[in-house]
Chain A
Amino acid sequence: DAGITQSPRHKVTETGTPVTLRCHQTENHRYMYWYRQDPGHGLRLIHYSYGVKDTDKGEVSDGYSVSRSKTEDFLLTLESATSSQTSVYFCAISEVTSVREQYFGPGTRLTVT
């Protein structure tokens, strides 16, 4: 298994509160990604990073921000959580030499009440 951990694994929060999800990797891979998974939509890219302090938006980035200050950590922040952000969030990593293959973490289930 790729060395990817996500924390927390489960979180319940109230509408309007800030939430930060953490992805940590031990593989020293350059690329990191945040996806959300919702029934009927598969996995949709939120943001991704192609290096330390280098990030870009995915297809569903509204309401989310990210930061990457170290190779091993990629943080996803919901500045003011909304019920539509209730979802399962997955982090993924890929290597520069094989960017085509992405490996996923175990996921974080977030519920916004």
Chain B
Amino acid sequence: AAGVIQSPRHLIKEKRETATLKCYPIPRHDTVYWYQQGPGQDPQFLISFYEKMQSDKGSIPDRFSAQQFSDYHSELNMSSLELGDSALYFCASSQTSGRMREQYFGPGTRLTVT
């Protein structure tokens, strides 16, 4: 079965640089979520999109922005990177129809800021 695809899997950037993370949801899934997991931490919700519109926002820094495109893939753009942005970034997707929207996670993008 198709899964959530994230690219790149690993990314190394320097402070003050920018980074773009991509997420390709499972086909026919209409909702995308982004989570950030710091070292040894639990995943924290950043932002979500439903049918290409932002549906919820969590603890996402103003330096970050995200969008969902017409083909439902999503991109998380991160600017002025800081050392503290080093983390594993997960994308998850779900389908609105059905009794419960179960989220399926991608393998994550490991971002290292040096």
Partners in one complex: no
Residues in chain A within 8 A of chain B (CB atoms): none
Residues in chain B within 8 A of chain A (CB atoms): none
